[in-house]
Amino acid sequence: MASTISLPLYEKIPRKNALQRTSDIIIFFLLLSLLTYRLLHLKNHGTTWLLAFLCESWFTFTWVLVLNMKWNPVIFKTHPDHLLQATGEPVELSSVDMFVTTADPVLEPPIIIVNTVLSLLAVDYPTHKLACYVSDDGCSPLTYYYSLVEASKFAQLWVPFCKKYDIQVRAPFRYFSNDHVITLSDSTKEFQHERKRMKDEYQHLCHKIEVAVQKSVPPCDFTGDFAEFSSVECNNHPTIIKVVWENKGLPDGLPQLVYISREKQHKHPHHYKAGAMNALTRVSALMTNAPYMLNVDCDMFVNNPKVILHAMCVLLGSKSESEIAFVQFPQVFYDGLKDDPYGNQMVVLYEYIGHGTAGLQGPFYAGTGCFHRRKIIYGLSPDNMASINGKLIEDIFSKIGNSKELTKSAIDALEGKTGTPPNHNLHSHIEAAYKVADCGYEYGTSWGTKLGWFYGSTTEDIQTGLRIHKRGWRSVNCMPNPPAFLGCVPSSGPTSMIQQKRWATGLLEILLSKACPIFSSLFAKLQWRQCLAYVWLLTWGLRSIFELCYAALPAYCIIADSHFLPKVQEPALYVPVALFLTYNIYTLSEYLRAGQSVQAWWNNQRMARVTTMIAWLFGFFSVMLKPFGLSETVFEVTQKELSSDIGGGGDDDDASRFTFNKSPIFVPGTTILLVHLTTLIVSLLKLQLPPANHDTHGSGLGETFCSGWLVLCFWPYFKGLFGKGRHGIPKATIFKSATLAFLFLYWCRRTAMVG
């Protein structure tokens, strides 16, 4: 097919960044000057300078990693219209299995899953080439019944409606929301009438779900279709697989829809999302065996109905198939709070780091909104592409487990004989599918270690992507307009902190494992600049230690009456001042160029400090304490809320105010704030004293400024000291933090007097 394509399906366009490179280099040189200054004066000063030197060396190292990532940005532009022209008939397109994972019907309400599934079912693609599989780790009849059975009924109306009128947003909650204004006046009577009907039907569906969720009773008595759900515990139950909708080869019907809740038993590790993805891979292999797999988190609905066509442009358009393993769409969020108060919307991150890594071996796999090739998930290397020989097949045989049907489908996948034959009957494979979804199936196989999604990290996405890059594959990021998928972003302090903690934990687990990118670069095919990009990401947890130490320095110096920054009269002071100014102007310009506000920039700067020193610190400790059995790294599911729950759009001031709870995760931040409030006051008082009382070693303006800056960074905590309810830091947390702050300051004083 590729040979008949003449117009390019995608283009790789280098992005100009001379100015950025210049600022990057300037900052790098300023960092080097600071290090030189430290080295020259190290012997005149004590431990504080050594500590400062170590921290600044780490910051410089991190900066080199950032510089490497941003140096050669590229943009991939896809042309779906060329795809349709080239193939003439859309029927020639490959089939795609679409996976949705969900784990908890409370944190991930059924209405969210309904919308994601509906948006997937309604994409612009021949429907008989699509199958949607929903994995439910919560084993909830609510999810099964509403997200799938009821949704598939509604889909019978919704999908034809979307296609007939070429609706752009195919998640109904979004389409019918008020901020999605449609000029109904210039539309036909017929359209208005049908739209009204859709809206009524959708509201009816919502109402049913609401009632069931509130009563928290199962939607039915456990008979018939639901018998399997009776007396299940979410962590201990047999496999449940249900074919909700079967497409009998009709291009304009609905895509196949299958519900899977893999078996779980207390004594078997289930490997969280990675385990779910592997079960999905196996079950779908038996049922539809599409050569491409799209996976989304349950909250990531399709926002651009052409998304599969965009992905196909890259996957079919790469010169040799052997190049590109996966196509990653960025995580974009809907209805995020205004100006990103939690600093977690990642707009600027995707803009610079995303396009930057695209110019290296390719973007990281982000766990959602990504198209994979099935054979690569089965462990294929670029070298093996040309010949699928007996040895390779034997190899697969030994790894994939003892299901004959699965082995056969895997061989088909490797040989390129994939896709659903016409009149394919899903039910005929259900028995084999139950078998491969058992929790015992993976014993003695290589699932999670050599094929599929990889185990051992709570960021299974990064680990899986790294293993793919390690084999020499590339990846591409695709950022169509409008964005391909939209999802939820945490909009509360506790949720956001827990998510960041999980990431830091998972990333550090990878760094300390066999999968460490440094080995992959030395002994496998991970390109060294890509390796550096991974090192940047995987060291998030370690950064917390250096930042925390650096934050302790000004406080220590003020109490101990020493200094770690050049004094006002020293010309060397220009170095940190210039560094501070250049860095902030530079990051600010990044935000402005990405269309973000000054407030968003500041919120992100501030939250970067809070996240690094607090959430990542917890991630660091949970990894460090794991070998001693003092901690367990678990995948804590992020709470998802529809915008209506949080006051729509988040313009109101209260919604963007930081929230707290009783979690110990808020102790260190409160401690840092209390320490710096104290030292700020102490140093301001000292600055008032006549100069005669100052010897040249005493703390100076630099330290005072640092303390002040940290207080500003922790300003949400400051407000939390006086806040009420969820906006206030609990009294017990304040008490613990005050004790810690006192002990720290006391210790500073003691060591200073001894020294």
Ligand X SMILES: O=c1ccn([C@@H]2O[C@H](COP(=O)(O)OP(=O)(O)O[C@H]3O[C@H](CO)[C@@H](O)[C@H](O)[C@H]3O)[C@@H](O)[C@H]2O)c(=O)[nH]1
Binding site for Mn ion (CB under 5 A): 297, 638
Of the ranges 455-463, 510-518, 562-570, 724-732, which one interacts with ligand X (CB under 6 A)? Answer: 455-463
- Cβ 656 vs Cβ 341: under 8 Å: yes
**Coil vs helix vs strand at 136:** strand
User: What residues are paired with 76 via a beta bridge?
Assistant: 12
C-beta neighbour count of 590 within 10 angstroms: 18
**Rounded to the nearest whole angstrom, what is the least distance from the CB of residue 138 to ligand X in the complex?**
8
Binding site annotation covers 412?
A: no
The verdict on whether residue 651 carries a ligand-binding annotation is no
Task: In angstroms, give the least distance from the CB of 136 to ligand X.
Answer: 8
Phi, psi of 510 (to 5 degrees): -70, -45
284 touches ligand X by CB under 6 A: no
Pick from ligand X, Mn ion, none: which does 103 bind, CB < 5 to 8 A by kind? Answer: ligand X
Minimum CB separation of residue 485 from ligand X in Å reads: 10
Shortest distance, position 262 Cβ to ligand X, whole Å: 10
Least separation in angstroms between CB 645 and ligand X: 16
> Under the criterion CB under 6 A, does residue 499 sit at the interface with ligand X?
yes
Per DSSP bridges, beta strands 10-14 and 96-102 are unpaired
Nearer to ligand X, 283 or 552 (CB): 283
Q: Which is nearer to Mn ion, 119 or 683 (CB)?
A: 119
480: left (phi over 0), alpha (psi -120 to 50) or beta: beta
* Percent composition of the chain: helix, strand, coil (DSSP 3-state, to 5): 55, 10, 35
Pairing state between β 324-328 and 474-477: parallel
Taking alpha carbons only, the member of 716, 704, 506 closest to residue 609 is 716
Residues in contact with 358: Cβ distance below 8 Å, sequence separation at least 6, in sequence order:
73, 74, 75, 76, 476, 477
Q: Give the nearest distance from C-beta 173 to Mn ion in angstroms.
A: 17
Dist. CA 160–CA 254, nearest whole Å: 9
- Position 504, amino acid: A
Give which of Mn ion, ligand X, none residue 637 binds (C-beta under 5 to 8 Å, depending on kind). ligand X
Measured CA to CA, the distance from residue 258 to residue 273 in angstroms comes to: 18
The stretch near ligand X (CB under 6 A) out of 145-153, 201-209, 610-618, 630-638 is 630-638
CB of 604 to ligand X, least distance (A): 18
Angle at 204 between CA 199 and CA 207, to 5 degrees: 125
d(CA 394, CA 532): 35
Q: In the complex with Mn ion, which residue's Cβ is closer, 297 or 442?
A: 297
The active-site residue out of 104, 124, 137, 340 is: 137
The span of 226-234, 320-328, 521-529, 634-642 binding ligand X (CB under 6 A) equals 634-642
Beta-strand pair 292-297/96-102? parallel
Strands (E) located in 65-194: 74-78, 96-102, 130-136
Residue 690 region, left (φ>0) first, then alpha (ψ -120 to 50), else beta?
beta
461 is catalytic: yes
User: Minimum distance from CB of 631 to ligand X (Å)?
Assistant: 17
Buried b / exposed e over 365-376, threshold 16 CB at 10 Å, is bbbbbbbbbbbb
Q: Of 61-69, 242-250, 270-278, 724-732, which part binds ligand X (CB under 6 A)?
A: 270-278
- Mask: binding to ligand X, 68-107, rule CB under 6 A, as x and -? ---------------------------------xxx----
Angle at alpha carbon of residue 149, lines to 147 and 154, rounded to 5°: 85
* Selected range binding ligand X among 192-200, 215-223, 413-421, 497-505, rule: CB under 6 A: 497-505
Selected from 276, 283, 302, 316, the binder of ligand X by CB under 6 A is 276
CB of 297 to Mn ion, least distance (A): 5
CB of 476 to ligand X, least distance (A): 18
Give phi and psi for 537, each to the nearest 5.
-75, -45
Residue/partner pairs of 410-417 with CB below 8 Å, 24 or more apart: 410/285, 410/378, 412/289, 413/285, 413/289, 413/291, 413/374, 413/375, 413/378, 414/375, 414/378, 414/380, 414/388, 415/388, 416/291, 416/375
Residue 164 annotated in ligand binding: no
- Of 100-159, which residues contact ligand X (CB under 6 A)? 101-103, 108, 135, 137
Q: Which is nearer to Mn ion, 335 or 442 (CB)?
A: 335
Q: Which residue is nearest to ligand X (CB)?
A: 367
Window of 74-82, 397-405, 499-507, 624-632 that interacts with ligand X by CB under 6 A? 499-507
For Mn ion, the closer CB: 334 or 714: 334
Per CB under 6 A, the list member of 198, 205, 298, 557 interacting with ligand X is 298
What is the C-alpha to C-alpha distance for residues 499 and 619, in angstroms, rounded to an integer? Answer: 10
Widest CA span in the chain: 93
Nearer to ligand X among residue 111 and residue 559 (C-beta): 111
175 binds, options Mn ion, ligand X, none, Cβ within 5 to 8 A by partner type: none
698-717 residues in contact with ligand X (CB under 6 A) are none
The one segment of 66-74, 533-541, 633-641, 717-725 that binds ligand X by CB under 6 A = 633-641
Q: Does 137 appear as a known binding residue?
A: yes
Please report which helix (H) or strand (E) contains residue 549, including its range: helix 540-560
Rounded distance between C-alpha atoms, residue 80 and residue 313, angstroms: 6
- Which one is catalytic: 104, 438, 461, 561? 461
Residues linked to residue 663 through DSSP beta bridges, in sequence order: none
Q: What are the two backbone dihedrals, phi and then psi, of residue 577, each rounded to the nearest 5 degrees?
A: -65, -45
Q: How far is CA 65 from CA 334, 476, 616, in A?
A: 30, 20, 19
Q: Which of 212, 346, 553, 637 binds ligand X (CB under 6 A)?
A: 637
Residue 459 interacts with ligand X (CB under 6 A): yes or no = yes
Which CB atom, from 102 or from 704, has the smaller least distance to ligand X?
A: 102
Query: Got the DSSP string for 238-271?
Result: --EEEEEE---S-TTSPPEEEEEE--B-TTS---
Q: Which is nearer to ligand X, 330 or 379 (CB)?
A: 330
For ligand X, how many residues bind (rule: CB under 6 A)? 24
Residues of this chain, 338-367, that bind ligand X according to CB under 6 A: 367
Residue 487 CB, nearest approach to Mn ion (Å): 6
- Residue 506 near which of ligand X, Mn ion, none (CB within 5-8 Å, type-dependent): ligand X
Binding-site member from 246, 297, 547, 590 for ligand X (CB under 6 A):
297
Distance from C-alpha of 393 to C-alpha of 400, rounded to nearest angstrom = 10
Q: Which is nearer to Mn ion, 297 or 340 (CB)?
A: 297
Select the span of 45-53, 286-294, 320-328, 496-504 touching ligand X (CB under 6 A): 496-504
Nearer to ligand X, 56 or 438 (CB): 438
**Given the structure tokens 């004959």, which residue do they identify?**
404
Residue numbers in the known binding site for Mn(2+) are 273, 297
Residue numbers in the known binding site are 108, 137, 273, 297
Active-site residue list: 137, 461
Q: Which residues bind ligand X (CB under 6 A)?
A: 101-103, 108, 135, 137, 272-273, 276, 297-298, 367-368, 458-461, 499, 502-503, 506, 635, 637-638
Residue numbers in the known binding site for UDP-alpha-D-glucose are 108, 137
